Amino acid sequence: MSGCNGAKDNSHNKARTSPYPGSKVERSQVPNEKVGWVVEWQDYNPVEYTAVSVLAGPRWADPQISESNFSPKFNEKDGHVERKSQNGLYEIENGRPRNPAGRTGLVGRGLLGRWGPNHAADPIITRWKRDSSGNKITHPVSGKCILQFVAIKRKDCGEWAIPGGMVDPGEKISATLKREFGEEALNSLQKSSAEKREIEEQLHKLFSQEHLV
């Protein structure tokens, strides 16, 4: 990811992937040396795209920026919606927030619901690989202990990822971690009521352990 002061090779790469995930929309091409906003590019002409599912107005999505009754407070807490970015202050251009990491070849929200930062929480669950006696297993080449972690395979792109998802307005991040881990790693949404109760008990036990940070 590039900062606002310039771009490194292959910077901001995921955010320049074409076509846009879940669509056939091709971004305008942004070379590495022109990702950073400090680099002048008068001919920059990004593609406008917001997914139909977002434009339909689900509860988790903002209205269009042009709607008269919508006046988001950028770079601050906006009611229950947190519009502060972990990357610091971001600029507003023509009423729209600019991506603090640089140009992406696309404007609009794509599949994201919020104008400005869309906060997500990803629980990283690890353990040392052990044998049946509880002893740590070492790697045959490096001789180091093997650290295991929980990952999921994404349905949209087929890539491996840490389970996680968006933080709901007013929701504690700890609650997001617990909910998203249940939905993505344990497939809780597809379980029966009895199975969901059992999963909830397991999650409570997991997320209440003292060593969990």
pTM for the complete prediction?
Answer: 0.76
Least confident interval from 88-97, 104-113, 189-198: 189-198
Q: Three-class SS of residue 75?
A: coil
d(CA 6, CA 38): 6
> Which pLDDT tens digit goes with each residue over 33-89?
999 999 999 999 999 999 999 999 999 999 999 898 999 999 999 999 999 999 899
**Token code pair at residue 121:** 């929480």
* Exposure letters 33-47 (e unless 16+ CB within 10 A, then b): ebbbbeeeeeeeeee
